[in-house]
Amino acid sequence: MNSSIDSTDQPEDAPVTVVLADDQALMRMGFRMILKAEDDIEVVGEASDGTSALAQARALRPDVILMDVRMPGMNGIEATELIARECPSTRVLILTTFDLDEYAFAGLRAGASGFLLKDTRPAELAEAIRTVAGGEAVVSPRITRRMLEMFASHLPEGGAGQAQEDPRIASLTPREREILRAVSRGMSNSQIGTELFIAEATVKTYLLRAFHKLGVDSRTAAVTEALRRELSIDGVSDPERARQVLRAELLKLVDPGLDRSLNLSAAEGDPAVVMVVGVNGTGKTTTCGKLARVLLAEDRTVLMGAADTFRAAAAEQLTTWGERVGVEVVRSEREGADPASVAFDAARQAARTGVDVVVVDTAGRLQNKAGLMDELGKIKRVMEKIAPVGEILLVLDATTGQNGMRQAQVFSEAVCITGIVLTKLDGTAKGGIVVTVQRELGVPVKLVGLGEGADDLAPFDPEGFVDALLG
What is the extent of the structural domain holding 228?
Answer: 152-237
Q: Are residues 213 and 107 in the same domain?
A: no
- The CA-atom distances, in angstroms, between 393 and each of 219, 263, 362, 405 are 38, 11, 11, 15
In a domain? residue 2: no
In a domain? residue 195: yes
Read off the pLDDT band of 185 (50, 70, 90): low
Q: Pick the residue with more confidence: 78 or 245?
A: 78
Q: Are residues 286 and 367 in the same domain?
A: yes
Dihedral sign for Cα 295, 299, 300, 306, please.
positive
Question: Tens of pLDDT along 85-136?
Answer: 899 889 999 887 655 545 666 777 788 888 887 777 888 888 889 888 887 7
In a domain? residue 247: no
- Judged on CB neighbours under 10 Å (0-12, 13-18, 19+), 197 is exposed
Residue 47 has pLDDT above 60, yes or no: yes
Q: Which of 212, 237, 262 is the last residue of a domain?
A: 237
Asked if 419 and 261 count as a contact pair (C-beta separation under 8 A), the reply is no
Q: Are residues 225 and 350 in the same domain?
A: no
**Domain CATH number, residue 388:** 3.40.50.300
Q: Are residues 363 and 463 in the same domain?
A: yes
Please tell me the predicted confidence (pLDDT) of residue 314.
87
Q: Are residues 391 and 316 in the same domain?
A: yes
Q: Which of 123, 149, 175 is the last residue of a domain?
A: 149
**Domain CATH number, residue 38:** 3.40.50.2300
Please tell me the predicted confidence (pLDDT) of residue 412.
82
In a domain? residue 254: no
Q: Are residues 277 and 420 in the same domain?
A: yes
Measured in whole angstroms, how far is the alpha carbon of residue 420 from the centre of its chain? 14
In a domain? residue 248: no
Read off the pLDDT band of 426 (50, 70, 90): low
- Measured between alpha carbons, how far is 194 from 207 in angstroms, rounded to an integer? 15
Assign 107 to helix, strand or coil: helix
In a domain? residue 53: yes
**Among the ranges 135-149, 375-389, 442-456, which has the highest mean pLDDT value?**
375-389
Which residues, including other chains, have CB under 8 Å from residue 364's CB and lie 6 or more apart?
277, 278, 279, 280, 281, 282, 284, 308, 311
As beta bridge partners, residue 66 has: 20, 93
Residue 266 has pLDDT above 80, yes or no: yes
**Domain CATH number, residue 225:** 1.10.10.10
- Measured between alpha carbons, how far is 184 from 55 in angstroms, rounded to an integer? 38
Question: Tens of pLDDT along 284-313?
Answer: 999 999 999 999 999 999 999 999 888 778
Dihedral sign for Cα 165, 169, 174, 178, please.
negative
State the DSSP code for 258: S
Residue 342 has pLDDT above 90, yes or no: yes
Q: Are residues 108 and 230 in the same domain?
A: no
Question: For 309, phi and psi rounded to 5 degrees?
Answer: -100, 5
Q: Which of 89, 124, 149 is the last residue of a domain?
A: 149
Between CA 14 and CA 22, with CA 18 as vertex, the angle to 5 degrees is 170
Q: Are residues 11 and 78 in the same domain?
A: yes
Count of structural domains within the chain: 3
**Among the ranges 161-165, 348-352, 439-443, which has the highest mean pLDDT value?**
348-352
Q: Are residues 308 and 449 in the same domain?
A: yes
Q: Are residues 464 and 320 in the same domain?
A: yes
In a domain? residue 255: no
Please tell me the predicted confidence (pLDDT) of residue 429.
42
In a domain? residue 261: no
Residue 391 has pLDDT above 90, yes or no: yes
Q: Are residues 364 and 390 in the same domain?
A: yes
Please tell me the predicted confidence (pLDDT) of residue 227.
43
Q: Are residues 342 and 453 in the same domain?
A: yes
